[in-house]
Amino acid sequence: MDRFIVWHIPYIPYLPSLPAFYLGADYSKGAVRIYAETPPQGNDLKVDILADGVSIFNDHASQLAWIGDHEPAPPHTPDTSVGLSIGETTDTEAADFTNGDLTEGTWMTLSVVDLASARNVTVQLELIKLSEDEETEEE
C-alpha cells in the first residue's frame, strides 16, 4: 500500500469533526480496516467513506422486488456502509468497493452512520498509487 488514510473517533457525547483528506495523485482502492476498543452494542457500527461526497462502496441493497404479479415492492434505501457487527472489535476486510479509481484532486471524508456505542473507533483506508512520478537524475 502506498497511502494510508486514518480516521479516529473517540467515544464522547457528541461526534467530533472528522478530517477530510486530499488526494494529490491517482489511487486505486486497496482495503479498509476497522477497529473498536469497545465493540458496538445494540446495533451494528456503520460508517461510509466518501470520495467528493460519493460512497466508494457498492450498494448492497436488494434489487427492486415484485409483490404478486404487478405491484413493485416499496423502495429500499441503499446501504453502502461498512462496519462492525454487535460484539466485534475488528474487521480487516470491510470493503466491497465500487469500480473505478480515485483521481487526483479528490477529497476523502468519513461519514458515521451509526456509532452504536462503540468506543475509540479507528477506520483505515489503504490506497495504491497508480503512477509513479518519473524523476531522472543527470550525471
pLDDT over 60 (residue 72): no
Residue type for 101, please? Answer: D
Domain ranges of the chain: 3-59+80-129
Q: How many whole angstroms separate alpha carbon 15 and alpha carbon 115?
A: 9
pLDDT over 80 (residue 26): yes
Residue type for 35, please? Answer: Y
Q: What is the pLDDT of residue 94?
A: 77
Query: Span 3-59+80-129: which CATH code?
Result: 2.60.120
Cβ-contact 102, 95 below 8 angstroms? no
Summarised one tens digit per residue, pLDDT across range 74-109 is 444 556 788 999 999 999 887 789 999 999 999 999
Cβ-contact 24, 137 below 8 angstroms? no
Summarised one tens digit per residue, pLDDT across range 45-69 is 999 999 999 999 987 543 344 444 5
